[in-house]
Chains A and B, each alone.
Chain A
Amino acid sequence: MSGCRTHGALLGGYVLGALEPAEMEAMRRHLDTCAQCAREERKLSGVPSLLDRIEPGDVPPPEPPPELEEIVLDRFIRDREAPPQRRALGRRRAPVLAAAAGIAAALLVALVVLLTGQEEDTAYASADLRGSGVAADTRAKAWLTNVDAGTHVSLEARRLPGARGDLFELWCIRTDGRWISGGTFMAGPNGRAAAELTAAVAPGDYHKIVVTHVDAGAPAGTRGTRVLDGKLKY
């Protein structure tokens, strides 16, 4: 404890205010005369006021979900795999434009739109899609970029239900309730998918993205079972 043979055992209880009244008083007097206990008491005395900052229910503190690590790593690897061009593009944009004028600028814009991993720098909105029901663990992130044909959607999904090769369809839900398809994509191994799609909607036309599982044998024109949805964040 503090090394003090007579009162060292009381220090913890004293700092916590958890001794009997007579012991509290005895300890208070003792601290005036014992340098060892006084030093130790100074060291510990700030702890209760720190404890006042929290509630017992705050312990243990919230932990990030385990899948977040893989999501972060996936983004990193995708970023790494895509572009030396990407970084160079961002940094050297001005000289390139100055040198090559209109045609190069148009090419540059096209590249910006098309390059995988570029979406976060050019997207006007994004959406975190979450699963429900049988697809409760499914997660996806979509980045939306404005293009001439409408909206380009870069989608990354994890834990899609069903088997590899199953078909999914992405929808943009317009504010008037109409569902506009952005096209279909297939699940890869382990329920993962990375898809680049285009929907005929403009920014402000729609507020939500939905992904449906295209049921095998379902009649043409049906939407399938909803597996993911998420609202747009601008």
Chain B
Amino acid sequence: MAASDARLVERLPHDRSGEELRELYRRYSGELFGFACNALSDRELAEEVVQDVFARLWRHADDYDPGKASVRTWLYAIARNRIVDARRRAAARPGLAQPEAEEPVEELDRELEQAVLRWQVAAALARLSPDHREVIRLSHWGGLSLREIAERKGIPLGTAKSRAYYALQSLRLILDEMEVER
């Protein structure tokens, strides 16, 4: 059975081979990177944020208290701080436009929350089968009715209807698994 996140963090201070860290990296690097990319619109800066998050994770593993927050929440909190730092550095770079005033913390947090949500929805959609993804794409963004989708794809209307239902149901399940409400 796979070790829990908290157990992996607990073992980190004694992890000589890097296997515990590798496992945590594989569990979270994708979403942290997606989050950072969404928040910073810069892949290189997002890579740095991911590196810094994991460096902080292993250096402060002793400080982690599973009673206070999940590992995921903790990692996002670290990433959030790194993203704020990265934005401030970018804003202070000569030659770049200076913001009128520093963004209020609440607004920044709201924006970062949206960045997480965007990554989660995109990642959930990416996990659907191609057929399911396509029926959602064509109906939701393409504005096509299921009848038009059936005609375009050369499939029976009943198939288009059941695909639409199962696509939505799968998406809802994946989002629930990611703890995305609404």
Q: List chain A positions with a Cβ less than 8 A from chain B.
A: 1, 8-13, 15-20, 43-44, 46-51, 53-56, 58-65, 68-69, 71-73, 75-77, 79-80, 120, 128, 233-234
Chain A contact surface mostly: helix
Beyond the given A68-B33, A69-B22, please list 15 additional residue pairs across the A-B interface where CB-CB is below 8 A: A9-B162, A11-B165, A16-B136, A16-B168, A18-B146, A50-B175, A53-B118, A59-B125, A59-B133, A61-B34, A63-B30, A68-B47, A75-B55, A79-B59, A128-B48
A residues in contact with B43, CB < 8 Å: 62
> Nearest chain B CB to A53's CB is how many angstroms away?
5
A residues in contact with B26, CB < 8 Å: 69
Q: Beyond A18-B139, A18-B149, is A73–B161 a contact (Cβ under 8 Å)?
A: no
> Nearest chain A CB to B130's CB is how many angstroms away?
11
B residues in contact with A64, CB < 8 Å: 29-30, 33, 46-47, 50
Are the C-beta atoms of A50 and B55 separated by less than 8 Å?
no
Are the C-beta atoms of B21 and A13 separated by less than 8 Å?
no
Q: Beyond A12-B161, A65-B47, is A59–B145 a contact (Cβ under 8 Å)?
A: no
Give Cα distance in the complex from A80 to B21, angstroms: 12
Are the C-beta atoms of A76 and B164 separated by less than 8 Å?
no
Are the C-beta atoms of A68 and B122 separated by less than 8 Å?
no
Are the C-beta atoms of B162 and A1 separated by less than 8 Å?
yes
Chain B contact surface mostly: helix
B residues in contact with A20, CB < 8 Å: 145, 147
Are the C-beta atoms of A12 and B37 separated by less than 8 Å?
no
A residues in contact with B167, CB < 8 Å: 12
B residues in contact with A55, CB < 8 Å: 141
Q: Beyond A11-B165, A16-B136, is A61–B50 a contact (Cβ under 8 Å)?
A: no
A residues in contact with B172, CB < 8 Å: 43-44, 47
Are the C-beta atoms of A13 and B136 separated by less than 8 Å?
no
Give Cα distance in the complex from A13 to B140, angstroms: 10
Are the C-beta atoms of B50 and A68 separated by less than 8 Å?
yes
Give Cα distance in the complex from A233 to B46, angstroms: 15
A residues in contact with B50, CB < 8 Å: 64, 68, 72
B residues in contact with A79, CB < 8 Å: 55, 58-59
B residues in contact with A17, CB < 8 Å: 139
Are the C-beta atoms of B146 and A13 separated by less than 8 Å?
yes
